Amino acid sequence: MKKIAMLGVGYVGLVSGTGLADFGNEVICYDIDPAKIEKLNNGKIPIYEPGLVDLVKKNVDKGHLKFTNDLAQAVRESEVLFLAVPTPSGEDGAVDLSYVFNAVDQIAKHINGFKVIVTKSTVEVGTNDRIRERLLADKIAPEMFEVVSNPEFLREGSAVGDFMRPDRVVIGTSSEKALEIMKEIYRALYLIETPIVATDIHTAEMIKYASNAFLATKISFINEIANLCELVGADVQMVAKAMGLDGRIGKKFLHAGPGYGGSCFPKDTSALTKIAEKAGMRATIVEAVMEVNRRQKMRVVEKLLKVVPDLTKKTIGILGLAFKPNTDDVRDAPALVVIDEILKRGGQIKAYDPEAMNEMRKHFPQITYVASIEDAVKGVDALIIMTEWNEFRNLDLNYLMSVMKNPIMIDTRNIYDPQKVRAAGFIYDCIGRKIVN
């Protein structure tokens, strides 16, 4: 058992801290926001993530997990300090590391013994070198600390399972002592033969960016193929299925849709192009991935305009606001672009999402948010399905026909059979599938 401080209790910090506590470690989670810590100490979880509420309660009750806004306490009582602070995109698309370096400066004030400082936040290559230099500049003796890169690979909506049963654990360090401490922290995974990838720090930092950029590439690739399928009369779902059967390709992330969003892929692809630029090259494939993704979000609007050319005073129903199901995260969600473009053209919105409406209100307080699917579809001039929540997969088509002003459906997640929806009387469009009239 190790004594761990998780500095930053956002999405990554809360899931990771809770998971490490469940592995038998003693974890104290720190955040600068006292309101967030107060909520957590009162059993209220600030994010929606399936399974997290119960896991937090279990480990708090066991005494393995605590929350504080006392940084000095968190640092002094812990041997291993995880940095899980925000690393947002700056105005130029590069990573803003100010939160990381501010946390390091604060740590330096309270170091009272040997510490392993672990970056869990996604940082550009070379950041951990700069952390070491910063600590040395703060007069921290080199024998008092080691720096480790331990990138996270959590998918929103399935983060608890990803942490408890990961594909791999990446540990970047030049210190055998730090490596052994990290292996002890992850001992529960080591015992079930989870691959531990021990490497140097720069490689560990790059693994995170390369992984996310490749997954984003698969999404943009299949979306571009989907657009081509529409032009030549092919079915992207069958194309993706056949591609996925090839073991060299794999079936995951080959689902055509309205483009990727969330907190990772947009930020990390942008950051990777800046890392390449700084190193003296262009990441041309990644640049293309970003451009395809930008266009894919606009294609949803183009599909709507084909069937409703004038959106002035038209009401569009939107089902799904989060960038994916099982999360309330709307960061870079395709719905943001679609809503904005509809409003620019004089349209009105009625929107429903099981979890993400409060988050979307921060961006578009002026649209109408409703409490149910039924309310979202009544009297609308067209319906757009933006997120594949399970409750959207079995809509009563007869009911929709009876309450919608115009029977128009744009299914950006391909969750319906085009022929069945067309047979029910709808004008129907989707992404990359052959529709027989």
**Which active-site residues does the annotation give?**
264
> Residue 208: exposed, middle, or buried by beta-carbon count in 10 A (0-12, 13-18, 19+)?
buried
DSSP 343-373: HHTT-EEEEE-SS-HHHHHTT-TTSEE-SSH
Q: How many CB atoms are located within 10 Å of the residue 121 CB?
A: 25
**155, 159, 167, 158: which is closest to 197 by C-alpha?**
167
Residues 81, 118: contact at Cβ < 8 Å? yes
Rounded CA separation 86/282 (Å): 26
Quote the tokens at residue 421: 């929806």
Maximum distance among all Cα pairs of the chain, rounded to whole angstroms: 74
Interatomic CA distance for residues 208 and 122, integer angstroms: 7
Which residues on neighbouring strands pair with residue 95, listed in sequence order?
A: 89
Integer Cα distance of 295 and 188 in angstroms:
44
Strand partners, 83: 7, 119
Segment holding 195, helix H or strand E: none
| Cα–Cα distance for residue pair 372/219, rounded to 1 Å | 30
